[in-house]
Amino acid sequence: MQLDGRTALITGGASGIGWATAKAMAREGAKIAIADIDRDKIEQRVTELGGASYGIVADVGDLREIDRMIHAVVSNFGQLDVIVNNAGVTRRCAFMDIDEELWDWVHRVNAKGVFFCLQRAAREMIPRRRGTVINIASIAGRGYPGTSNAAYAASKGAVISLTMQAARALAKHNITVNAICPGVTRTELAQSIMDLRAEKEGVPMAEIEAQAAQGIPIGRMNEPEDIAAMAVFLASDGARNITGQSFNVDGGLIMM
């Protein structure tokens, strides 16, 4: 197993991409901690995972909660080897309708949350001279025209650029930092955006989904497992010399 003996913390791990990543990493032998704001779902997920898995309710937009989360994970497992900064929020909004409230809501979790989770996790990894940070960005941060809104795209651009800065700062401690940029991925978040589009445009859901798949060169949307597979690789020994990179997993939507 590729992740035997490692411990991995996945933020936003109770649904979608985070949950698929938790399951995939557990299958590869990692001990899993799931952090999320959804208490009921965490309990359900920890029961499903079984074994040594651990759940913690934490809001990654709040620095005190980040500190409590990392402290709890290290107290429980004795170490932290991998953090997947996956928690993220958005909703569909036209460019001219973006207001301060939407901007702050999105950036608090997607940009500030990712930075301070990774910085706090690095404080545990540096003394051990090992660690893997995986940030879940988006092709929205690379100019994808179908983004939910411009504030979200900017928050994901921030994740891509702080991945490079963190990789530079932490390389001397043998810590790798990479990002994954998912394309359109079948999760609750994507579903809520497509539902709203179907309602606004009066188009059946099946047509919205078909349109989404049609625009993708490979001809299909991602399943959350497609992102999880890349996360497992980035956490494995095979990726030990890869750092500062952002990888698109999007069926060819954005080729850069």
Ligand X SMILES: NC(=O)c1ccc[n+]([C@@H]2O[C@H](COP(=O)([O-])OP(=O)(O)OC[C@H]3O[C@@H](n4cnc5c(N)ncnc54)[C@H](O)[C@@H]3O)[C@@H](O)[C@H]2O)c1
Positions in the binding site for ligand X (CB under 6 A)? 11-12, 14-18, 36-38, 59-61, 86-89, 109, 136, 138, 182, 184-185, 187-190
Query: What number of H helices and E strands is found in the chain?
Result: 9, 7
Q: How far is the CB of 195 from ligand X (least distance, A)?
A: 13
Cα–Cα distance, 47 to 37 (Å, whole number)? 17
Give 137 or 239: the residue with its C-beta nearer to ligand X.
137
Nearer to ligand X, 21 or 132 (CB): 21
How far apart are CB 97 and ligand X at their closest, in Å? 19
Q: Which residues contact 62 (CB under 8 A, 6 or more apart)?
A: none
Least Å from the CB of residue 6 to ligand X = 21
Phi/psi at 181 (5° precision): -110, 95
User: In this structure, are residues 34 and 22 in contact, taking their beta carbons and an 8 Å threshold?
Assistant: yes
- Residue 136 CB, nearest distance to ligand X (Å)? 4
Catalytic (active site) residue 54: no
Residue number with CB closer to ligand X (126 or 229): 229
Angle ∠(110,103,89) on CA atoms, nearest 5: 35
Cβ proximity to ligand X: between 60 and 134 the closer is: 60
**Token pair 């208490």 is at which residue?**
39
Q: Is 211 left (phi over 0), alpha (psi -120 to 50) or beta?
A: alpha
Choice among 117, 152, 232, 250 that is catalytic: 152
Which residue numbers are catalytic?
A: 152
